[in-house]
Amino acid sequence: MASVTNMLRLDGVDRSFGGRRVLQNVSFGAEAGRMTGFVGGNGAGKTTTMRIILGVLAADAGQVTWRGVPLTRAVRRRFGYMPEERGLYPKMAVREQLIYLARLHGMTASAAARNTDTLLERVGLAERRNDLLEKLSLGNQQRAQIVAALVADPEVLVLDEPFSGLDPLAVDTVVDVLKERASAGVPVLFSSHQLDVVERLCDDLVIISAGTIRAAGSRAQLRATHTAPRYELVVEQDAGWLRDHPGVTLVELEGARAVFELPRGADEQPVLHAALARGPVREFRPVVPSLADIFREVAL
Amino acid sequence: MNTLAATQLVAAREVRAKLRDRTFLLSTLIFLLAAAAATTLPSLLSGGPATVAATPEISAQLRAAGLEVREVPDDTAAERAVRDGDTDAAVVAGPTVLARDQAPADVVSALSVEPPVRLLNPAPAEPPGAFLVPFVFAFVFLLTSQTFGVQIAQSIIEEKQTRIVEILVAAVSVRALLLGKMIAGTVLALGQIALVALVTVVGLRLFGDSELLDLLGPAIGWFLPYFLLGFVLIAALWAAAGALVSRLEDIGTVAMPVQLVVMIPFFGVVFLSDNAFAMQVLSYVPFSAPTAMPLRLFTGDAAGWEPPLSLALLLVTALAVLAAGARVYEGSLLRTNGNTSLRTAWRERETVG
């Protein structure tokens, strides 16, 4: 855990809409220099949480701090935000509106223009810079939207589903740009439904379900705490006998191949011995649980 | 960056966007053409002084009266000129004036001797139609404030409909957004009116009635501060109205009450303009003051201390409506999936620092 001075933190955030509680005691942090994936099902509270971070919605209780200081509009102006509901001015030229947005975040006209041009080049929109936004394809509008979040050199990046609607090539570009920002010392908090993308991208993970945080920490930490040790065994004949082996919980069984879990802290060697006693063993290895596994374990 | 700088940025963007909007440019052009036509066409179409056919003996006297004279050898030729439509009238021996179907007043008066008149209690000269001047101004105010007010509401709804609003309010305060839009609307409205006024003044100077022009001067002087504050008030109303709906198609549902609030006082002033007491009351009610007070000033019914007082009242109301508008806007901002009732918007305000 890094010191609080380089963290975007939420502490005990509550929010209700007309009596329906949407967030309950939400607390987690996004560390500077790391990519933090924010995952949860539909309606779990991701968007509400992000809106509260950006001050678009108010929290009923709790607070959000950056470097230990509660957020004010002046602090938030240095944040970059990509809302879930996308939108820019359809009838305004791409470059012009990005410069406008950068200036609303406090940049000078020349710095805003410089950043806009660099980023448009980077995401492959340089040639369309003077086109009206509405003339762009949806994928290109999405690229412009990402530039809008990055254009003012934000200290903190909060991105709600940044990869939805992007083609695979654009996903790679955006992943590169975000990683660059993270390694420059920016906390990058992003939500996504695409667990494979999150898996590839995030250093830390926050899992939310029904308005409460179920797990938060680095991927390795979460694996260690939230999933039981898992092994794959391939033998010569049917592996069905594993079902009756003490301590084993079968996850998958296909003839000679089986995936099973053992209680935390249990020794796996007795299972291997038992298998060898029955015949040759072709494979025996620990299985690293995927993010989807962790997610299923924690959120459901 | 403070609220002021943010407001400026917002206003500058609104103005730029509008100046590129074809509809706006076209409507301004049409206004300008109408103003130019209204001031120049009457004198161009009236065709100048009447033409008269006359024999050389009498032509000098007619020319001296400013008439256009065609000299003819005799009375028969003069009569023929009228019958053929070559001239408007003819003067023959007698002298008798010949014309087709109407007595030509300017020819008649050129030949008559008017007795001298001495007025003992002269009234200030007032060109015909002067009493209409404040009503014309009031109508211009009504028209402009409605047009630009609707546009402010549209611009607010558009930002909600295109969802960019979430990025905007994450960066700048709602107040700066609203204020920026209102300032832009006011600047554009004043700019459009100033252009139309310029064309009207130049047109009147060149082709028309400079007496009417002299009357317009002081009226414009009082009209300006009332227009300015009156517009801010109405703009704030429209901004609040725009904040309540989330789709441009729904603007009609909130436009009606705002339009009534603006129209009823206007017609009140028009119909009660002879009732001194009613006018005095209306000149303090913020919604009718921009129309009623300049009218009272124009007719000389208002004392010197009255306009500053009514302007102050107007300003306070405008600021109050602006603050209320901002609150409603905050309360309805993210309810982009339906219209928000005024009461809900008021209560559900997001109190974000």
Q: B172 to chain A: which residues are within 8 Å by CB?
A: 73, 77, 104
CA distance B240 to B342: 9
Residue B231 in domain? yes
B33 and B56 assigned to the same domain: no
Residues 6+ apart with CB under 8 A from B6: A104, B171, B172, B173, B176, B177, B180
Among B168, B181, B171, which Cα is nearest to B322's?
B181
- pLDDT tens-digit map of B115-127: 888 877 766 555 5
**Residue B221 falls within a domain, yes or no?**
yes
Contact status of B4 with chain A (Cβ, < 8 Å): no
Domain range A4-224, CATH architecture: 3-Layer(aba) Sandwich (3.40)
How many Cα atoms occupy the beta-carbon half-sphere of B300 within 13 Å?
3
| Same domain flag for B146 and B184 | yes
So what's the pLDDT on residue A43? 86
| pLDDT given for residue A101 in this prediction | 95
In a shared domain, residues B30 and B159: yes
Does B187 map to a domain? yes
The helix/strand count (H/E) of chain A reads as 10, 14
Whether residues B169 and A55 touch (CB distance < 8 A) is answered with yes
Does residue B55 share a domain with residue B24?
no
How many Å apart are CA B198 and CA B213, to the nearest integer? 12
When pLDDT is averaged across residues B13-27 and rounded to a whole number, the result is: 89
Of B87, B103, B119, the domain-final residue: B103
Domain shared by B316 and B296, yes or no: yes
Its CATH architecture, for the domain A227-299, is: 2-Layer Sandwich (3.30)
Residue B239 confidence (pLDDT) above 70:
yes
- Which residues in A lie closer than 8 A to residue B334 (C-beta atoms)? 51, 56-57
* pLDDT value for B337: 47
**Residues facing A36 on adjacent strands:** A189, A204
Same domain (yes/no): B174, B261: yes
Give mean pLDDT, residues B1-25: 89
Q: Are residues B312 and B263 in the same domain?
A: yes
pLDDT tens per residue across span B268-322: 888 888 888 888 888 898 888 888 888 888 777 778 788 889 999 998 998 888 8
Query: Does one domain contain both B9 and B95?
Result: no
Judged by CB atoms closer than 8 Å, whether chains meet at A106 and B168 is answered as no
For residue A189, the surrounding DSSP H or E stretch is strand A188-191
A54, A57, A63, A65 alpha-carbon torsion, rounded to 10°: 10
Spans of all domains in chain A: 4-224, 227-299
Asked if residue B163 and residue B61 are part of one domain, the reply reads no
Q: Please report whether residue B109 resides in a domain.
A: no
User: What share of chain B has pLDDT > 70, as a percent?
Assistant: 85
Q: Provide the mean pLDDT of chain B.
A: 81
Whether complex ipTM tops 0.85: no
Same domain, B94 and B192: no
pTM of the shown model: 0.78
**Same-domain check for residues B78 and B142:** no
Q: How far apart are CA B152 and CA B182, in angstroms?
A: 7
The answer to whether B143 faces chain A, any CB pair under 8 Å, is no
- If you search the block for the tokens 């100033």, which residue do you land on? B194
Q: How distant is the Cα of B137 from the closest Cα of chain A, in angstroms?
A: 34
Q: Is a pLDDT exceeding 60 seen at residue B350?
A: no
Could you say which of B1, B13, B166 has the minimum Cβ distance to residue A100? B13
Domain that holds residue B161: 3-41+131-347
Q: Is residue B116 part of a domain?
A: no
* Ramachandran region, residue A165 (left: φ > 0; alpha: ψ -120 to 50; beta: rest): left
pLDDT at B268: 87
pLDDT, mean of residues B66-90 = 83
* Cα separation values, B350 from A129, A210, B168, B174, B345, Å: 35, 23, 15, 11, 10
- The partner residue sitting opposite B350, judged by closest CB among A57, A104, A106, is A57
Q: What is the pLDDT of residue A119?
A: 95
pLDDT of residue B46: 61
Please list the rounded mean pLDDT of every run of 10 residues in chain A (300 residues).
Answer: 74 90 94 93 91 90 93 91 89 95 94 96 93 92 93 95 86 90 94 83 91 89 81 90 89 90 87 91 88 78
Contact with chain A for residue B247, Cβ under 8 A: no
- Span B250-279, average pLDDT: 86
> Regarding predicted confidence, which is higher, B82 or A96?
A96
Smallest CA–CA distance, residue A89 to chain B, in Å, is 7
Q: Is A30 strand, coil or helix?
A: strand
Q: Which residues of B touch A87 (CB under 8 A)?
A: 162-167
The count of CB pairs under 8 A between chains A and B is 75
**Whether residues B238 and B317 fall in one domain:** yes
More confident residue, B168 or B209: B168
